[in-house]
Homo-oligomer: A and B are copies of this chain.
């Protein structure tokens, strides 16, 4: 059968554009003994993918020029010669950015679509939700009654994090860009929200919204947000650094004001993390998530684009702030 997939044509310098991608049609061979054929239904679109487009090894290998890109995907097994999988099974994989693939089954995870729609495993019940959970629970170690500042609150990780922190009994101040996104943060439970595009002094606005300082800051943005965080964190405050989208496309060393002495003066803790280093928490996460969902505490929102050809633009849209909740491509 034929499958279409997105290839990387060149490592972008600065902001990537449509010219960095190419839609290619490939032949998918029939699955051999021990193999399965999977047709993807939903593709995950995530900011971290920008890091793999740099050609530099960070915590994962870079994407290869002229090859299909990779990312989270859920799909249905349409043919199986592997005893572990049956036709009709739904599987989660890293074989995104493509319509179909053949696999020996390694790295495929069967998912239960009777309780949740399949694409939920790409966000709230997947690595996106787990990222928010690990950052809040292990890295920040947020306590009941403490205040969390969740940046990019209307994004996929941010909107999960707002709801998880509320479910844990914390107070949440969110930041987002524009009125519509700010309203969404409040709708899903943030106690207060700051429109960072509409304030001249982010630190002051956060302090007012929080009624004082904050105990934890969930870093998805970098730059101006980082600087403000060092100002508004209380003594012994903690930063979970999960991403810094403001900087991903900016190759120049744009300087920041040096307010680092706050790290010493306030005994702050800052820790970058990658969710896959914390998979020992998956059991706790799934248990908590199921309870919160049954208690009606979790809403999800998706921004959905259609068809494989829309994948590059969906990805570029992340950097234009076009997603509410999780950005997905439906095939």
Question: Does A222 interact with chain B (Cβ within 8 Å)?
Answer: yes
Confirm or deny: A293 has a beta carbon within 8 angstroms of a beta carbon on chain B. Answer: no
Residue contact A264 to B277, C-beta cutoff 8 Å: no
Q: A253 to B244: give the CA distance in the assembly, Å.
A: 22
Residues of B within 8 A of A84 (CB): none
Q: Can you name the residue of chain B whose Cβ is closest to the Cβ of A60? A: B265
Chain B residues with CB under 8 A of A261: 222, 244, 247-248
Q: Could you say which residues of chain B place their CB within 8 Å of the CB of A260? A: 222, 226, 241, 244, 247, 256
Contact B258 A258 (CB under 8 A): no
Question: Chain A's interface: helix, strand, loop or mixed, by majority?
Answer: mixed
Q: Are A258 and B264 in contact (CB under 8 A)?
A: no
In the complex where A254-B258, A255-B258, A256-B256 touch, is A265 in contact with B222 (Cβ < 8 A)?
no
For residue A48, give the distance in angstroms from its CB to the closest CB of chain B. 9
How far apart sit A255 and B254, CA to CA, in the bound complex (Å)?
9
Stretch of A71-79, A205-213, A267-275 with 4 or more beta carbons under 8 angstroms from chain B: A267-275
Nearest-neighbor residue (CB-CB) of A257 within chain B: B253
Given contacts A255-B255, A261-B247, contact A266 B59 (CB under 8 A): yes
Q: Does A114 contact B (CB under 8 A)?
A: no
> Which residues 74-121 in A have Cβ within 8 Å of B in the complex?
none
User: Given A256-B260, A271-B270: A265 and B226 within 8 A (CB)?
Assistant: no
- Checking B58, B223, B257 against A265 with a beta-carbon cut-off of 8 angstroms, the contacting residue is B58
Q: How far is the CA of A269 from the CA of B138 in the complex (A)?
A: 13
Counting CB contacts under 8 A, is A263 at the interface? yes
Which of A51, A226, A254, A270 has its CB near the most chain B CB atoms (within 10 A)?
A: A270
What's the nearest-Cβ distance from chain B to residue A151, in Å?
Answer: 13
Please tell me if the beta carbons of A265 and B272 are within 8 angstroms of each other in the complex: yes
A235 interface residue per 8 A CB criterion = yes
Q: Does A243 contact B (CB under 8 A)?
A: yes
A242 within 8 A of B: yes
Beyond known contacts A58-B265, A254-B258: 13 more, CB 8 A cutoff: A58-B266, A219-B264, A222-B260, A226-B260, A244-B264, A255-B255, A256-B256, A262-B272, A263-B271, A267-B273, A268-B270, A268-B272, A269-B272
The chain A residues found within 8 Å of chain B, CB to CB, are: 51, 58-59, 219, 222-223, 226, 235, 241-244, 247-248, 253-274, 277
